[in-house]
Amino acid sequence: MLRDTVRALAEAKIAPFAAEVDEQGRFPQEALDALTAADLHAVHIPEQYGGAGADALATVIVIEEVARVCASSSLIPAVNKLGSLPLVLSASEDLKKQYLSPVARGEAMFSYCLSEPEAGSDAASMKTRAVRDGDDYVLNGVKRWITNAGVSDYYTVMAVTDPEKRSKGISAFVVEKSDEGVSFGAPEKKLGIKGSPTREVYLDNVRIPASRMIGDEGTGFATAMATLDHTRVTIAAQALGIAQGALDYAKGYVQERKQFGKAIADFQGIQFMLADMAMKLEAARALTYQAAAKSERGDNDLTFFGAAAKCYASDVAMEVTIDAIQLLGGYGYTRDYPVERMMRDAKITQIYEGTNQVQRIVMARNLPK
Amino acid sequence: MKLVVLVKHVPDEAADRLFTAGVFAADLTVDRDGLSCRLSEPDEYAVEQAMRIARRRMDVQICVVTMGPAGAVRTLARALALGADEAVHVLDDALHGSDAQATSRVLAAAVERLGFDLVLCGTASTDSGMSVVPAMVAERLGVPAACEADTVWVGEDEVMVRRDEGTAVVDVAVGMPAVVSVTDRIGEPRYPAFRSIVEARQKTLRTWSLKDLRIPAAEVGLGASATVVRSVTPCAEQRPALLVEGEARGAAARLAAYLTEHQLI
Ligand SMILES: Cc1cc2nc3c(=O)[nH]c(=O)nc-3n(C[C@H](O)[C@H](O)[C@H](O)COP(=O)(O)OP(=O)(O)OC[C@H]3O[C@@H](n4cnc5c(N)ncnc54)[C@H](O)[C@@H]3O)c2cc1C
């Protein structure tokens, strides 16, 4: 029922704008409006903060179905979870109430600021500083590649509070767009997910009350990593959705396209490709749903499974979308058909929330017992 | 105030290629087990309308009723997610192949048993629809019917509907209890919110048999049907071609206007 509902909504209210959003590189406002109206913009927020209280699997299904028609739009529910999960996991009750409720009501979105120009895969080498000054902290630095920057009202920012201690000297804070000293860079010009704004966030002497620290001082990096364990599952969901969209499109196309006097779907060479695509996709889905169950239960092997689901599903999404283009032949290579967009969108899932090389490092360090 | 919404579980035209092999069972009834089915779209408008009435008053209880095979629980679940409070499923093997007369008898009996102030339903179902069930149900209940409503106002003891008949707009007022069928001009149904999908699982869904409704099995179903389907022939889908005639300039303008109007350019 949830999948049917989100699929119907996505097809009616989001799909019609997907190509335009990509072409023009504009924010998918229609998608935000439609998702908010149906309470699907941040389904993971617990009920006690006015949220829908969806479990990890339900959240995956929502993201999957939105990504099936428009990957850029799927970053609305996905990044709302990424930005706000540090609070759900580690923040004080007051901070949760203050910041989760507006997100649940659809009045604000949340972004996640970990990466920096010089600190990507090696996020712990970040330079952004937060210095205590009386009851406040003063933040200075630059965060790069921040999804939904400028659109979101709230930002979870990881910053160094004690440079001596490296990753144990990093703390997490909530920064508001309206805080003095917060500004944004020009939108990045990207290969895919062009409808999802990615910008730098500049922090120039941003003064915030100490109560906006998420958890204790020095726990920020641990919180950031714990968050990724859960949200990598949502990136896997996004990859599944993109791949499913491409497979569904190709499946329909091969029935219609005739060569050598029959539908190309009648050729075994085509059928085998579709079989392989569907097989890989279902294997990725099984792994993703298993990881979602672990995320919900908080199992201690989640780190491995989250990384494995993200890495495998995103690799599958890349293969499936490329094959979908192949099945459409020359038409697949043009912007008149959606599969080339899906391929461009799929690529990002192998990069963000840790590149797939980094996922393999994470998996290797946390091999199943 | 008690609203009863009649809903039907019908083949989903978008999901299956209809009217090819496999749609009809050997006895020429629609094979709903073999097809993916959904809540009939016009009935979705009726559920939405019930929700709108409920939002304007404090005392509304909405019950959805369907008569259909076991799979029809999905249609009821959908209506509950859209906001109905409770659901009744009339399920009985003997109902298979019932015609409009038998259907209206069963639905009227279920509505009677529930008690009602207003019965709402779609104008016709999207499969083999005849648009007669709403009027037949009203007749059996002995209450007025106001069909094909484009707008509905509910007062204390009367309901007013407005119907656009093309050449005239007609306002009809009937006393309650009554039966009202609604068109798709009445207001688009919303998508159920996440929480109401979850809450729907906690709502009551009752299953009634013909015995519960005190209707003899021999008087409904395929055997008792007043109409007989002798054969079903698929007809090739043929869209009427548009022929733009006349002098080139004018024809081009008319063609452009046509394409714009249909949002093709
Ligand atoms: C569109 C987009 C949106 C993003 N959104 C966000 C966001 O909202 N918030 C946020 O904090 N970040 C975000 N990011 C940042 C993203 O997570 C980083 O780009 C990513 O972690 C990689 O960092 P990097 O780009 O600096 O690459 P680098 O770390 O410079 O990596 C370059 C290459 O080296 C490889 N590599 C690095 N280290 C190793 C190693 N030890 N072993 C093997 N290979 C290695 C990498 O896999 C990669 O192939 C986003 C990025 C993009 C492109």
Residue B20 pLDDT greater than 60, yes or no: no
One domain, residues A196 and A133: yes
Residues A78 and A195 sit within 8 Å (Cβ to Cβ) = no
| Tens of pLDDT, residues A17-32 | 999 999 999 999 999 9
pLDDT at B222: 87
Give the mean model confidence (pLDDT) for residues A99-108. Answer: 96
A353 catalytic? Reply is: yes
Contact A296, A56 (CB under 8 A): yes
Cβ pair A208, A173 in contact under 8 A: yes
pLDDT > 90? residue A320? yes
Please indicate whether residue A253, judged by its CB atom, sits closer than 6 Å to ligand 1. Answer: no
Confidence (pLDDT) at B233 = 79
The chain A residues in contact with chain B (CB within 8 A) are 1-2, 4-5, 8-9, 34, 37-40, 43, 52-54, 58, 62
Token pair in block for residue B202: 């906690």
How many Cβ pairs within 8 Å bridge chains A and B?
39
Residue with more model confidence, B204 or B20 = B204
Highest mean pLDDT among A97-111, B22-36, B143-157: A97-111
Task: Assess whether the C-beta atom of A357 lies below 6 angstroms from ligand 1.
Answer: yes
Answer yes or no: is the C-beta of A115 below 6 A from any ligand 1 atom. yes
**Given this model, what pLDDT does residue A213 score?**
98
Neighbour count for residue B215 (Cβ, 10 Å):
21
Q: Which residues have C-beta within 8 Å of that of residue B236, sequence separation ≥ 6?
A: none
Q: Among A109, A114, A121, name the best residue to mutate to test ligand 1's pocket (greatest count of ligand atoms within 8 A of Cβ).
A: A121
Question: Does B151 score more than 90 pLDDT?
Answer: yes
Q: Domain check: are A248 and A360 in the same one?
A: yes
Residue B227: predicted pLDDT: 84
Do A337 and A298 sit in the same domain of this protein? yes
Residues A232 and A328 in one domain: yes
Mean pLDDT of all residues in A42-47 = 96
Residue B17 is predicted with a pLDDT of 53
Residue B131's pLDDT is 82
* Cβ-defined contact of A52 to B195 (cutoff 8 Å): yes
pLDDT band at A364; cut points 50, 70, 90:
very high
Task: Please name the residue whose Cα sits nearest to atom 27 of ligand 1.
Answer: A120
Residue B239: pLDDT over 90: no
Q: How confident is the model at residue A226 (pLDDT cuts 50, 70, 90)?
A: very high
Looking at the complex, report in whole angstroms how far the Cα of residue A38 sits from the nearest Cα belonging to chain B: 4
Asked if residue B14 has pLDDT above 70, the reply is no
What are the distances in angstroms from CA A289 to CA A92, A293, A336, B172, B189? Answer: 30, 6, 33, 54, 31
Q: Does the beta carbon of A352 sit less than 6 angstroms from any atom of ligand 1?
A: yes
State the average pLDDT for chain A: 97
Question: Which residue, A82, A104, A126, sits at the end of a domain?
Answer: A104
What does the alpha-carbon distance between residue A4 and residue B78 come to, in Å, rounded to a whole number? 10
At B145 the three-state DSSP class reads: strand
Distance CA B104, CA B135 (A): 9
Q: Which residues of B touch A5 (CB under 8 A)?
A: 81, 191-192, 197
Say which range, A197-201, B57-61, B114-118, has the weakest mean pLDDT.
B57-61
Q: What CATH number has the domain bearing residue A89?
A: 1.10.540.10
Give the pLDDT of residue A182.
Answer: 97
CB atoms under 10 Å from CB of B101, counted, come to 18
Q: How far away, in angstroms, is A173 Cα from ligand 1 center?
A: 22
- CATH code, domain with A313: 1.20.140.10
Q: A261-275 pLDDT, tens per residue? A: 999 999 999 999 999
Task: Tell me the H-state helices in A128-219.
Answer: none
CA distance A221 to chain B (A): 32
Residues A82 and A190 reside in one and the same domain: no
Residue A249 CB–ligand 1 contact under 6 Å: no
Whether A17 is in the pocket of ligand 1, judged by its Cβ within 6 Å, is no
Residues A263 and A320 in one domain: yes
Which atom of ligand 1 lies closest to the CA of A121? 29
Helical (H) or strand (E) element with A17 = helix A15-24
B81 neighbourhood in chain A, CB within 8 Å? 1, 5
- CA A200 to ligand 1 centroid distance, Å: 14
pLDDT value at position B21? 54
Q: Name the least confident of A184-188, A286-290, B219-223.
A: B219-223
What domains sit in chain B, N to C, each tagged with a CATH number? 2-224 (3.40.50.620)
**In angstroms, what separates the C-alpha of A40 from chain B's closest C-alpha?**
6
- Asked if the model's pLDDT at residue B89 lies above 70, the reply is yes
Which atom from ligand 1 is nearest to the alpha carbon of A123? 21
Measured between CA atoms, the residue of chain B closest to residue A34 is B191
Considering the domain architecture, whether residues A8 and A87 belong to the same structural domain is answered as yes
pLDDT for B265 equals 75
Average pLDDT over residues B187-200: 89
Query: DSSP label at A11?
Result: I
Of A4, A34, A52, the CB nearest to B194: A52
Tell me: pLDDT of B28 over 90: no
Residue of minimum CA distance from atom 37 in ligand 1: A121
- Chain A residue numbers with beta carbons less than 8 Å from the beta carbon of B199 are none
- Let me know: does A193 contact A149? Beta carbons within 8 Å: no
Q: Ligand 1 pocket, A325 CB below 6 A?
A: no
The domain containing residue A242 runs over which residues?
A: 222-365
Both A246 and A315 in one domain: the answer is: yes
- Of residues A17 and B228, more confidently modeled: A17
A267 and A316 belong to one structural domain: yes
pLDDT, residue B238, reads 66
**A55 CA from centroid of ligand 1 (Å):** 28
* The predicted structure's pLDDT at residue B16: 54
Report chain B residues whose CB lies below 8 A from the CB of A39.
Answer: 193-195
For residue A52, give the chain B residue with the closest CA. B195
Q: What is the pLDDT of residue B130?
A: 76
Same domain, A230 and A254: yes
Chain A residues closer than 8 Å to B190 by CB: 37-38
- Of the candidate ranges B162-176, B188-202, B248-262, the one whose mean pLDDT is the lowest: B248-262
DSSP helix/strand/coil, B265: coil
Question: What's the whole-number mean pLDDT along residues B194-210?
Answer: 92
Check which CATH number belongs to the domain holding A195 and give it: 2.40.110.10
- Does any ligand 1 atom lie closer than 6 A to the CB of residue A113? yes
A255-290 burial by CB neighbour count: b if 16+ within 10 A, else e? Answer: eebeeeeeebbeeeebeebbeebeebbeebbebbbb
* Contact call for B197 and A53, based on CB within 8 A: no
Q: Which residues of B touch A37 (CB under 8 A)?
A: 190-191
Q: In whole angstroms, what is the distance from residue B142 CA to residue B229 CA? A: 30
A354 lines ligand 1 (CB under 6 A): yes
Question: Based on the domain organization, do A178 and A309 belong to the same domain?
Answer: no
Ligand 1 center to residue A194 CA distance, Å?
A: 18
> How far apart, in Å, do the first and last CA atoms of chain A sit?
36
Residue of A nearest to B76 (CA): A1
Q: Please say if the pLDDT value at position B22 is more than 70.
A: no
Which residues of chain A lie closer than 8 angstroms to B77, CB-CB? 1
Number of domains within chain A: 3
Please tell me whether residues A214 and A94 are part of one structural domain: no
| B124/A296 Cα distance (integer angstroms) | 44
Nearest CA in chain B to A53: B195
Domain boundary among A155, A184, A218: A218
Which residue among B74, B190, B197 places its CB closest to the CB of A2? Answer: B197
Tell me how far apart the alpha carbons of residues B153 and B177 are, in angstroms, rounded to a whole number.
14
